[in-house]
Amino acid sequence: MLTHGYFVQEDEKEQRIMRPYPPLGLLYVAAWLEAHQVENEVFDTTFSSMDALKQHLAASRPAYCCIYVNLMTKVNVVHIMQWIRQHLPATTIILGGPEVRNHAQNFLEYGAHYIVLGEGEVTTLELIEHLRAGKEPVQVAGLRYLAPDGTLHNTGEREKIKDLNVLPLPARHKINLHAYLDAWKTAHGLNAVSVNTMRGCPYTCKWCSRAVYGLSYRRRSPEHVVAELKHIKNTYNPDTLWFVDDVFTVSHKWLAAFAAEVIREDAVIPYECITRADRMSEEVIALLKQSGCFRVWIGAESGSQRVIDLMDRRVEVSKVREMIQLSRAGGLETGTFIMLGYPGETEADIEATVEHLKVSHPDYYTITIAYPIKGTDMYTEVEERFVEALDWSTTTDRQIDFERTYARKYYDYAVRYVVNEVAADRTSGWSFWKHKLKSVVARGGMHWERRMN
């Protein structure tokens, strides 16, 4: 059995956002196992509950339980593992996903039998084949597990899959995808299906985790991707797609071939994607538009070039502004991402971010307070400045705080300041004054926290 640990009913913020996506990584592993005659089922927890998962586990008593773990689901997965250990001692627990590489020892000590590093398809299949044959998987690359004496056994890194076209399409038929479509439709009027065309990212942003695919760039052929889009269109007919790739336009040659193929095969579905400003141009915008793109997210993280350089983003903030504006002029909706509280950021940098958002004027933006993910360069840089030691089993890296330029509370006010200052710039009349007042209050909170700390 394959499962995860995300329960939308447990998270009030996620319920308000209501943009859930199926666990694509898990569905790829399920499809690979199925293609190699390993019978499996997927218990999708998204619209279920912890009690329902436990009841299903108790009834089915799987020989192997493969659990996908990311930062959001870590605490739930620890609980699930401990429950399986107590109630289903014959079930072998196998973990994979972005959270396991840099916390392998802890996951093993809290109940996992095996940790799958990186891409999970081939490693999981070989592991299960070895276990079924009663053999210790010492020759299966990409594993970590505890030896009988309690020492950590590492079988080394597995070579990455070179040709992603060998992968079967994710096993969406094993879950109730219509539940996702209905949830989206109810909350937003349009629904969406997520699709992955590439693995890895060739860039080196210090805050970004590369725990699964590493510093690489591998991509399915345009023909392979378009075949999947045709299948999705014929099977589910969604309103939109969400390409989950880190940098969708990294290869202009690939994008041109994709645009031609998706038009030729009548497989165009409106989509949104993420990219970088330095991989955008007028020609790229035209190709995006032709191939069905209606919204492009262009990463920035900050409006301060100094902070962008500290992040090793390797992009010019002026280029980000230009490409957001050019994309809007080309008929695309635009979005961007903002991060406050990065190590070394000052109030002047935050002001630069406000100005950046006003000038570039994206249709949408997200804003978050920076936190260090273990295994990243950012984590290494601030590890000695952590404010307190957290209990590993009940917290996540999102809750880590470190000594910043200002106290942590300062950045809560800073988020409110940015949001309301930008909103005031985009409104008039009563709305302008409402946001302006909130901006002034938040700015006062920033100054108070700066003086007190």
Category of 63 on φ-ψ map: left (φ > 0), alpha (ψ -120 to 50) or beta:
alpha
Per-residue pLDDT of the chain (453 residues; tens, 9 = 90+): 999 999 999 888 888 889 999 999 999 999 999 999 999 999 999 999 999 999 999 999 999 999 999 999 999 999 999 999 999 999 999 999 999 999 999 999 999 999 999 999 999 999 999 999 999 999 999 999 998 888 899 999 999 999 999 999 999 999 999 999 999 999 999 999 999 999 999 998 999 998 888 888 999 999 999 999 999 999 999 999 999 999 999 999 999 999 999 999 999 999 999 999 999 999 999 999 999 999 999 998 999 999 999 999 999 999 999 999 999 999 999 999 999 999 999 999 999 999 999 999 999 999 999 999 999 999 999 999 999 999 999 999 999 999 999 999 999 999 999 999 999 999 999 999 999 999 999 999 999 999 987
How high is the pLDDT of residue 144? Answer: 97
Strands 114-116 and 364-369: unpaired
Torsion of CA 9, 12, 13, 18, to 10 degrees: 40
Contact 378, 343 (CB under 8 A): yes
Sheet holding 2-3, edge to edge: 42-43, 2-3, 64-68, 92-96, 114-116, 143-146, 152-154
Torsion of CA 377, 380, 381, 385, to 10 degrees: 150
Contact 325, 294 (CB under 8 A): no
Contact 106, 112 (CB under 8 A): no
| Integer CA distances (angstroms), 342 to 102, 345, 445, in order | 21, 6, 19
Which SS3 state, helix, strand or coil, does residue 420 take?
Answer: helix
144 C-beta neighbours (distance < 10 Å), count: 21
How high is the pLDDT of residue 219? Answer: 97
Question: Phi, psi (5° rounding) for residue 386?
Answer: -60, 140
Q: How far apart are CA 340 and CA 446, in angstroms?
A: 13
Sheet holding 192-195, edge to edge: 192-195, 240-243, 271-275, 293-298, 333-340, 364-369
Residue whose structure tokens are 């447990």:
10
Question: Phi, psi (5° rounding) for residue 204?
Answer: -125, 35
How high is the pLDDT of residue 368? Answer: 96
How high is the pLDDT of residue 13? Answer: 84
How high is the pLDDT of residue 317? Answer: 97
How high is the pLDDT of residue 10? Answer: 87
How high is the pLDDT of residue 69? Answer: 97
How high is the pLDDT of residue 407? Answer: 92
pTM of the model: 0.95
303 C-beta neighbours (distance < 10 Å), count: 25
Q: How far apart are CA 363 and CA 354, in angstroms?
A: 15
How high is the pLDDT of residue 59? Answer: 98
At residue 221, what is the residue type? S
Write down all domains in the chain, each with its CATH number in brackets: 2-154 (3.40.50.2300), 190-370 (3.20.20.70)
**Beta pairing partners, 243:** 195
Contact 41, 65 (CB under 8 A): no
Question: Phi, psi (5° rounding) for residue 241?
Answer: -120, 155
Displacement of CA 327 from its chain's centroid (Å): 24
How high is the pLDDT of residue 291? Answer: 98
